[in-house]
Amino acid sequence: MLYAQAMTRVLITGSAGFIGYHLAQLLLDAGFAVVGYDGLTEYYDVRLKQRRHQMLLQNSGFSAHVGMLEDHERLRALILDERPDVIVHLAAQAGVRYSLEHPRAYIDANVTGTFNVMECAHELDVRHLLMASTSSVYGANTQLPFREVDRCDHPLTLYAATKKAAEEMAHSYAHLWNLPTTMFRFFTVYGPWGRPDMAFFKFTRSVIEGSPIDVYNNGEMYRDFTYVADLVRAIRLLIDVAPQRPDGPESIARHDSLSPVAPFRVVNIGNGGKVPLMDFIAAIEEACGRKAVKNFMPMQKGDVPATWADTTLLQELTGYRPQTGIREGMRQFVAWYRDYYQV
């Protein structure tokens, strides 16, 4: 059963981010009160982040607060003052390749920052804590599609390692303090208001400008591309299915990643398909109305050849499965890109 929306107050960390903005907008449209918290860091164009917050502030149900995850006292004061029923923790230092050059940023934001969020959620005893992880935690796994119950013991980047660490910390807090916690693993999210550092954004810019795009592993890569509107719809539905501490192993479904000892669960959010990178590039070309100039390159350090989500659990929990295809998704993104940048 859906929570009474007008009575539910949700804190979103990373509310000026790509996914945080879309989730906040969806929840506001549904009648939730939303409190946003974002560091507005300069990892990419801050003006894009500021514009997202400005749009959300047009709704009286939204309030915006600027602060870093590492600033525990500021975060704690905000949470104890606003007293949210639910916390959705999306803020993080993102980007696989950036972690090769700036590793400390990932420890600060993704480990220390996540710990601070968990401490606040525990102190307030929130109804449900939901936190973003990533398909990158599957690391060196080669068995596809990825299932939540798969072992994730061999991360290939520090980014993936910090996200896996966050999952492990969250499980311990769920167990120790009976804190209902859902971790969701994202799979290559794309769409309007996206991050300029992501491939779909850079490819689109280059195709429109007529400059070359770097195609890694000579194009022999596959991704589970997830349209952002589908992803935030899944998060909104997962808010209503907080895990409970199980009665015993027999109460856990075969496909479920529910902990046997804690109100804790991991859920994949993906489109449930393995799409060739070259097909994705073709969708961008079609949406832009011109061909890409391709610069084929070897695999980058820390990258993986394929990702693919088993979304059985998501559908079992929510009755929902993302379905937007790459041609329609990229058509929507390119339309937004042309409008935003007036090109």
The per-residue pLDDT string of the chain (343 residues; one tens digit each, 9 = 90 and over) reads 454 455 799 999 999 999 999 999 999 999 999 999 999 999 899 999 999 999 999 999 999 999 999 999 999 999 999 999 999 999 999 877 788 889 999 999 999 999 999 999 999 999 999 999 999 999 999 899 999 999 999 999 999 999 999 999 999 999 999 999 999 999 999 999 999 999 999 999 999 999 999 999 999 999 999 999 999 999 999 999 999 988 766 556 656 788 999 999 999 999 999 999 999 999 999 999 999 999 999 988 878 899 999 999 999 999 999 999 999 999 999 999 999 999 9
CATH at residue 53: 3.40.50.720
Does residue 13 lie in a domain region? yes
Q: Which of 37, 98, 138, 159 is catalytic?
A: 159
Cβ atoms 83, 9 nearer than 8 A: yes
C-alpha span between 183 and 181 (Å, rounded): 7
Residue indicated by tokens 């709704």: 59
Both structure tokens of 157: 């980047």
**What is the pLDDT, as a whole number, of residue 4?**
47
C-alpha span between 14 and 323 (Å, rounded): 25
Quote the number of domains for the chain.
1
**What is the pLDDT, as a whole number, of residue 304?**
87
- What are the backbone angles phi and psi of residue 62, rounded to the nearest 5°? -115, 140
Does residue 278 lie in a domain region? no
Task: Give the domain range for residue 251.
Answer: 5-187+228-270+309-322
**What is the pLDDT, as a whole number, of residue 219?**
93
Active site residue 43: no
**What is the pLDDT, as a whole number, of residue 94?**
86
In the chain, % helix, strand, coil (3-state, to 5) comes to: 45, 15, 40
**What is the pLDDT, as a whole number, of residue 1?**
46
C-alpha span between 166 and 15 (Å, rounded): 19
Does residue 338 lie in a domain region? no
For residue 182, the one-letter residue type is: T
**What is the pLDDT, as a whole number, of residue 41?**
92
**What is the pLDDT, as a whole number, of residue 255?**
66
Does residue 136 lie in a domain region? yes
Does residue 181 lie in a domain region? yes
Q: pTM for this one?
A: 0.95
How far does CA 72 lie from the centroid of its chain?
22
Does residue 275 lie in a domain region? no
Could you list the beta-strand ranges (E) of 58-121: 62-66, 86-89
**What is the pLDDT, as a whole number, of residue 256?**
78
